[in-house]
Amino acid sequence: MTAGHQVPGAVGVSPAHRRIIDSYRDRDRFDQFCFLLAAALVASGIAHLGVFLVDGGPWSGPVSWRKAVTFGIAFGIVLAAINTVYFSALRLRNKTAAGIDEAVPREHALAIIKRDLANLVVPGGTLSGAFQTTSLSNNVAGQSSPTFCTTSAAIDDTSPWSEIQRVSYLLVDSTNRTGGRDLVRAVTRNLLPPVTQDQPDEQWLLSGVQALTFQYHDGSQWRDSWDSSAADTVTGETNTLPKAIKVQVELFSELRGRTPPPALELVVPIVVHSRTNEVRQLAGGGQ
């Protein structure tokens, strides 16, 4: 809305009146009906009181203005109070249920990511390969994480695969017309394909994601990339994993101009490290 233009119907409306109008619009039809009925009863009682003050008449007795005035005002206030308490509790219940419905998929997605990262396989093996943020194996469209091997797979009597699987995380366009993108987990169970590499199975985790970032802690600072095939600058070892991995999931804000929801953050310590039989010469000449 540009300067000098006003919304039709908003001319001369005070902020207090605007809040009342917005509060009325947020109510459902039955709630609106009860609200209007309560207002009509109170207005009827006030109207009868005005007629009594202007024309006079009996205030007490079998037929009196007092009954019409007290009935309208009293029942209108009671109806408004009951309606407010009931529908406030109903709206609170609906809001809580909606919050739970939003939180459950998020917690489930973070739990899966945490389990995958906590069970990383030491790189350099026959099945594990290298842990690299930029790799030729990262060839899945929309990939937002490195391809890594983890022992988080479930073993059952019907699948011929082991507990090691290759996992990556993708951000793909949403298919249910919601804002943001879908967070998808791509899983490959067959790590020794006979001829060509199998297409990974995609598992939906979360909708409404704006961005997904990974950071890697080397023991002193966070880094945006990691290459296990490169020698460590301190120890000179290869096939090393970071000390910890941080995952940030930025959520999409459906309301323009509103502050976006806080990002989901997960820090997973990596306790698996490669071993070596190499004997190093110490500075004092010992081993």
Render pLDDT for 59-104 as a digit per residue (tens, 0 to 9).
Answer: 776 767 777 788 788 888 888 888 888 888 878 887 888 777 778 8
This prediction has a pTM of 0.62
Greatest distance between any 2 Cα atoms in the chain:
117
Mean of pLDDT values over 106-116: 92
Does 43 or 132 have the greater pLDDT score?
A: 43
User: pLDDT value at position 267?
Assistant: 93
How sure is the predictor about 244, in pLDDT bands with cuts at 50, 70 and 90? very high
| Residue that the structure tokens 């983890």 belong to | 150
What are 117-149's pLDDT values in tens digits? 999 988 877 777 778 786 544 445 566 778 888
DSSP string of the chain?
A: --TT---TT-TT--HHHHHHHHHHHTS-HHHHHHHHHHHHHHHHHHHHHHHHHHH---SSSSS-HHHHHHHHHHHHHHHHHHHHHHHHHHHHHHHHHHHHHHHHHHHHHHHHHHHHHHTBPPTTSTTT---BSS-TT--STTB-S--EEES-PPP-SS----S-EEEEEEEEE-SSS-SSEEEEEEEE--SS-SSSPPPPEEEEEEEEEEEEEEEEE-SSSEES--BTTSPPTTT--SS---SEEEEEEEEPPSSTTSPPPPPEEEEEE--------PPPPPTTS--
Query: Among residues 262, 238, 258, which one has the least CA distance to residue 248?
Result: 262
User: pLDDT value at position 265?
Assistant: 92
Query: Among residues 274, 267, 199, 281, which one has the least CA distance to residue 239?
Result: 274
Q: Which two tokens stand for residue 202?
A: 């995609």
User: pLDDT value at position 189?
Assistant: 84
User: pLDDT value at position 142?
Assistant: 62
